[in-house]
Amino acid sequence: MTANTSSISSLSNYNRDKELQEFDNTKLGVKGLVDSGIIQIPRIFHHPPDTLFHLSNTDSSSEQDQTIPVIDLLSKQAEIVQSIRDASAKFGFFQVINRGISVCLLDRLLDRIKAFHELPPEQKIPHYRRDTTTCSSGGVGFYSNFDLFQSDAASWRDTLEIRLEQFDPKALPEVCREEVIEWDKEVKQLAKRLMRLLSEGLGLSRNRLLQMSCIERRLMVGQYYPHCPEPNKTVGITAHTDLETLTILLQDQCGGLQVNCHGKWIDVKPVHGALVISIGDTLQIISNDEYKSGEHRVYANPFLNPRVSTAIFSSPGNPDNRNGPLPELVSSERPSLYQQHKFSELVIKFLSKELERKSITSYFRS
């Protein structure tokens, strides 16, 4: 049999659905694959060449003239508001420092998220599930790739997911329980402060966005990107925008997060003690495109040490309330760019597609 014939035979024997199910049935995620000693990643993780990116092909030229702003929340109020407005309009991303949350807590939180993902299988498997919305799960679940069965290719990461507005503290893994509960309390206050600043940046009263209850629901994810033996064939997270109103992200010092700015991908360089803030599709719609929902991605981890991050996605408390551009931001000179819709309709659209290149805003444009 020739090499070409062998390759064709291999393609014909590939049963993607079967391999996806077999991977999911292990309940060990990509960490389990790494622990098994693989040197080649399964084909279900192979992404098309034109969608691949990694550390070696970062657009370094863009880094010289484009950086994600780091905003000191101890600066003068007017300066903070203007800096956040500018960053939200240009990038949809910015970092904040001196936000009143202990750096020690942030370090402990990342350490404990890492510890959960590195638990022995018999301690981690009981948390494995695809649906964390059910009462039986206590709003807590562990999985690999939430869109595993919808995407064209899986990505190289595992996730601990916690629905903070409904979780049972006893359902939290003990290894990270204390830190998650403390983090939730702190980040709620930060989210409120940021929404006031974002509201002022739009020329609105400082509590206008908060009065809409658009950050009442909170979903936390603890992401784990183990070493990938073939990082040039897969990704950590595909390019997408976040559905929610606001995302608060804590990344470790490994790097890997990139943001699309006018077609050029730039690194969000880690700053110890900083939190990364991103605007979601919901806030882009509410602001009538004054703010931008930032497209971002994460490359597969080529390093031996795992990459760890945690994010909280804040979204409207009542998914059946109708939303659209705020009346104060609509005029004859700048008409409404979006239809009125329910947040639940955004969610349905989001879940009906794979994560790759998701931008829900296009579905609701007027």
Please, what is the end-to-end C-alpha distance for the chain in angstroms? Answer: 58
Q: Determine, yes or no, domain membership for 230.
A: yes
Q: Give the distance from CA 170 to its chain's centroid.
A: 25
Identify the domain containing residue 191 by its residue range: 16-364
Within a domain: residue 345? yes
**Segment 143-196, tens digit of pLDDT:** 999 999 989 999 999 999 999 988 888 999 999 999 999 999 999 999 999 999
pLDDT over threshold 90, residue 11? no
Q: How far is CA 151 from CA 14, 50, 124, 131, 267, in A?
A: 17, 16, 25, 17, 25
For residue 4, tell me if it sits in a domain.
no
**Residue predicted with more confidence, 317 or 220:** 220
Instruction: Please work out, in degrees rounded to the nearest 5, the angle formed at the alpha carbon of residue 285 by the alpha carbons of 283 and 288.
Output: 110
Q: What is the CATH number of the domain that holds 64?
A: 2.60.120.330
Q: What is the mean pLDDT of residues 203-230?
A: 96
- Out of 16-20, 40-44, 75-79, 357-361, which region has the weakest mean confidence (pLDDT)? 357-361
Q: Read off the DSSP letter of residue 77.
A: H
Residue type, 297: R
* Contact assessment for residue 363 and residue 349, using Cβ atoms and an 8 Å cutoff: yes
- Phi, psi at 314, each rounded to 5°: -105, 135
Question: Furthest-apart CA pair in the chain: how many Å?
Answer: 73
pLDDT at 357 over 60: no
What are the structure tokens assigned to 157, written together?
């990461």
Long-range contacts of 179-188 (CB under 8 A, 24+ apart): 179/105, 179/108, 179/109, 179/112, 180/109, 180/112, 180/220, 182/105, 183/105, 183/109, 183/220, 183/310, 184/218, 184/220, 184/312, 186/100, 186/101, 186/105, 187/101, 187/218, 187/248, 187/312, 188/218
Nearest to 224 by CA among 95, 328, 118, 341: 118
Gyration radius of the chain over CA positions: 21
User: What is the percentage of the chain residues whose pLDDT exceeds 90?
Assistant: 75
Residue 8 within any structural domain of the chain: no
pLDDT for res 53: 81
pLDDT confidence of residue 133: 66
By DSSP bridging, strand 275-279 and strand 264-267 are unpaired
Q: List, in sequence order, every beta strand (DSSP E) within the chain.
A: 70-72, 93-97, 140-143, 158-163, 217-225, 235-240, 246-251, 257-261, 264-267, 275-279, 296-299, 307-315, 322-323, 341-342
% the chain with pLDDT above 70? 89
Whose CA is closest to 231, among 41, 62, 90, 9? 41
Please check whether residue 6 lies inside any domain of the structure: no
**Calpha distance 112→236 (Å, rounded):** 20
Q: What is the pLDDT of residues 248-275, one digit of tens each?
A: 999 999 999 999 998 899 999 999 999 9
- Does a structural domain hold residue 11? no
- Which structure tokens are listed for 354? 């794979």
CA 52 to each of CA 40, 243, 266, 348: distance values in angstroms, whole numbers, following the listed order: 17, 23, 15, 27
- For the four alpha carbons of 50, 52, 55 and 56, in that order, the dihedral sign comes to negative
> What three-state secondary structure class fits 223?
strand
What is the rounded average pLDDT of the residues 63-83?
88
**Cβ neighbours of residue 294 under 8 Å, at least 6 residues apart?**
91, 92, 93, 241, 242, 259, 260, 278, 279
CA–CA separation, 32 and 224 (whole Å): 12
pLDDT given at position 219: 95
pLDDT of residue 257: 97
Compute, in degrees rounded to 10, the torsion defined by CA atoms 37, 41, 43, 48.
180
Whether residue 9 lies inside any domain: the answer is: no
pLDDT at site 5: 35
| Residue 288 pLDDT grade (very low, low, confident, very high; cuts 50, 70, 90) | very high
85 part of a folded domain: yes
pLDDT averaged over every residue in the chain: 89
Cβ atoms of 281 and 242 within 8 Å: the answer is: yes
Domains: count for the chain: 1
Mean pLDDT over residues 102-114, rounded? 97
